[in-house]
Amino acid sequence: MAVTLEQARRVGYTCLKALLRFAFMVANNLVAIPSYVLYLIVLQPLRVLDSESFWYIEGVLFKWLLAMVASWGWWAGYTVVEWGDDVKAVSEDEAMVLVNHQATGDVCTLMMCLQDKGTVVRQMMWLMDHIFKYTNFGIVSLIHGDFFIRQGRAHRDQQLVLLKEHLEKYYRSRNRKWIVLFPEGGFLRKRRETSQAFAKKNNLPFLKHVTLPRLGATQVILKTLVAPQENGTPAGGDAVIKESKAKGLQWVIDTTIAYPKGEPLDIQTWILGYRQPTVTHVHYRIFPVKDVPAEPEALTHWLYQRFIEKEDLLTHFYETG
C-alpha cells in the first residue's frame, strides 16, 4: 500500500517530536536527579540536628521531581479526570491507597493526580516492584524511603518481614502520610491468566479487567500502621495519650484507573508522546480503616470485593465510555 505525502509528513513529525521529547527528558533527568541527590548530601548536617526539617525539605524536592514527570504527560496531552470521593479532604490523615495495575503509566498517572492534594506527594511512600530500583528514578526512591518488593512465591515471606521492618523504621520517623500499593502484584496482562485459573479452581468471580489481589502487603501495612484501638483493641491510659499524638492509619482509598478502550499508557508513551492526546479516568472510594476487617479470611474477602467492584466499574466504562 502506497504511503501518501501527508502520511509520510505525519510519521516524520511524530518521530521528530518523540526524539525531541526524549532529549528533553534526558536533560531533565541529568539536571534534576543529581541536583536532588547533591542538595540532600549538603543538607546531611541538618538531618542530624533537625531531622523533621530535613525530611520536610526532601519532601518538597521529591514533589518537584514527581511534578516534572507528570509534566511530560501534560505536555503530550495526556490528561486526567477524577471521580468519586474527595480524597483531598483526607490529605492530612494517614491513608493506604489501593490501585489496580495495568502498565508503568499508572504510576505517572498517580503522580499527576496527587500534585494538588496538599502535602500528600511529599509525605507519601510507594511500594513498587524491585526492578524500579535500577531505573533512573531508583536513587530518588531509595533516598525518599520507598519500598521495593520482590515478586514471586519464593521471596514472599521474606519480603513481608522486610516490609514490616521498613515501615517500623521509616514510615513515622519520616512523617509519612499515605502509602501507595498495587495489590494485584503485577501488570494485568501478566497476571490475568493465572488469576483466572485460580478463580476457576476456587469458585471465585471471573475477572477480565483486573486480577484477584494478594493479601500479604495489605495485611502487613494494616497490622503495622493501624493504631491498636482502631483494630478493635481497647485503648486506655497511656494509649489515649499516644493516640492523640499519632492516630495511625485512618483511611483506605480504593483507586481505580481506567484508560479509554482499555489501552493503558506505558512509560515509553508517557516519555515519547507518540500516542494521540487521551483522557485517563481515575475513580476514588474512601473507607474508614475501622470498617476494614483485620482477620485474614475476612480481609481477603473484603479485598476481593473491592476488585470485583473495580471490574464492574471498568466494564461499565469500557461499554459506555
Distance of CA 291 to the CA centre of its chain: 22
SS percent in the chain: helix, strand, coil, step 5? 60, 15, 25
User: Do residues 163 and 126 lie in contact, with contact meaning Cβ atoms separated by under 8 Å?
Assistant: no
The secondary structure of 295-307 as a DSSP string is SHHHHHHHHHHHH
Classify domain 5-226+246-320 at the CATH topology level: Glycerol-3-phosphate (1)-acyltransferase (3.40.1130)
Domain boundaries, the chain: 5-226+246-320
Burial label for 251, CB within 10 Å (0-12, 13-18, 19+), is: buried
Measured distance CA(269)–CA(277) in Å, rounded:
11
Enumerate the β-bridge partners of residue 244: none
Cβ–Cβ < 8 Å for 199, 308: no
Report the pLDDT value the prediction gives residue 241, as an integer from 0 to 100: 35
Q: What is the DSSP letter of 167?
A: I
pLDDT at site 243: 41
| Burial zone of 166 (CB within 10 Å; 0-12 exposed, 13-18 middle, 19+ buried) | buried
| pLDDT averaged per 10 residues in sequence order, the chain, 321 residues | 70 82 87 94 95 95 93 91 94 95 92 92 90 84 91 80 94 94 89 90 92 92 82 43 61 96 90 91 96 93 95 94 82
Q: What's the pTM value of the predicted model, to 2 decimals?
A: 0.88
The DSSP output letter for 174 is T
Residue type at position 314: L
